[in-house]
Structure 1
């Protein structure tokens, strides 16, 4: 027989898996349609107003809800990334024109801002996101480059079909897709300092807890 646990504190929202942990799920603020960060930026630039987007956290197996943020107008809180016991959120405040990188420690229920940047430091918010490990703020634009915005600044030339997967020390892992004629992907590993390809192989990578990745 199945066991249904009623989640209290939020409702009418779908819990999404956070890669790298079995313990935590992210749940978007109820009643708000999803849009990505770039779309939110576009809405604000065109209208001067964005209604806001926020995520809550749900702990497994008890279903306890953690709400590090409250929904705010003109503020976009992105889905968190798991970083060895800490959940890192990318927060963009369009009115203040600020990018904030925050860290939430569940065991202490502590939220802190670990970095703050002017929004003008990036051309736009297209594919702006956090990656691990170590924690890195990066951006993939339309110009054939992967740009590291924080904690260092660097631009690396990549293929037109490459998408960042994650960072592992001095290695950047990308997924490159093809249709010739069937769809398939390859994993491309690049040196973070030179951008040169270290490895390239067919297949897919899936992040699991405890720094384990499945390669298929």
Structure 2
């Protein structure tokens, strides 16, 4: 017999698994159809107003809903990342022209601000997102570079088809796709200080709980 748990307080949203934990899911809330952070910035720049985007958290197996944020005009809350027992959120306030990095502690149901940056710190919000660990705000501007915005400022040259997966200390893990003639992917590890390639191998990486990664 199946067990159906009714999740209250969330509507019209599909729960998505949060990488790195098997206890938590996220649900998007928005007053418009889904758009990413860059598209939200474009809407604000063109129309002068963005209706808002927000995420809720759902705990498994009890279905308890945590709502650290309320939907707010001109504010985009990015999908949370799991960071060793806490959640980190990237929040952009287009009206105030601020980038905020926040942490949410589920056990305490407490939301805290880690840092605030001026939106002028980045050219735009294209591929702007948080990585772990340590917690890093980075941006892949599709210009051949990965830009670290916070907690330090640095640019690292990367390949045209490389996408950042995560950071582990001074090692930056990326996925690279190519066609030869069929579609393939490589896992690339770069030194975050120099940008040089430390390792390169064919395959994929999947993040699992307890800092476990599957290499396929």
* TM-score clears 0.5: yes
Contact 1:12-1:31 at 8 Å conserved across structures: no
Q: Give per-residue Cα distances to partners, 1:155-176, cap 9 Å, x unaligned.
A: 0000000000000011000000
Alignment of 1:129-140 (within 5 A): 129-140=129-140
Instruction: Give the superposed CA RMSD.
Output: 0.8
Offset, 1:88: 0.2
CA 1:108 to 1:67, structure 2 compared with 1: closer, same or farther past 3 Å? Answer: same
Offset, 1:100: 0.1
Contact 2:30-2:51 at 8 Å conserved across structures: no
Contact 1:133-1:167 at 8 Å conserved across structures: yes
Q: Give per-residue Cα distances to partners, 1:110-151, cap 9 Å, x unaligned.
A: 000101000000000000000001110000002100000000
Identify the residue that residue 165 of structure 1 maps to in structure 2: 165
Identify the residue that residue 207 of structure 2 maps to in structure 1: 207
User: 1:152 and 2:157 equivalent?
Assistant: no
CA 1:94 to 1:103, structure 2 compared with 1: closer, same or farther past 3 Å? Answer: same
Identify the residue that residue 7 of structure 1 maps to in structure 2: 7
Deviates more, 1:176-185 or 1:62-71: 176-185
User: 1:143 and 2:139 equivalent?
Assistant: no
User: 1:197 and 2:212 equivalent?
Assistant: no
Structure 1 alignment gaps of length 5 or more: none
Contact 1:92-1:100 at 8 Å conserved across structures: yes
Aligned residues: 216
TM-score (norm 2): 0.98
Contact 2:30-2:53 at 8 Å conserved across structures: no
Alignment of 1:62-211 (within 5 A): 62-211=62-211
**Secondary structure in 2 aligned to 1:54?**
strand
Offset, 1:12: 2.1
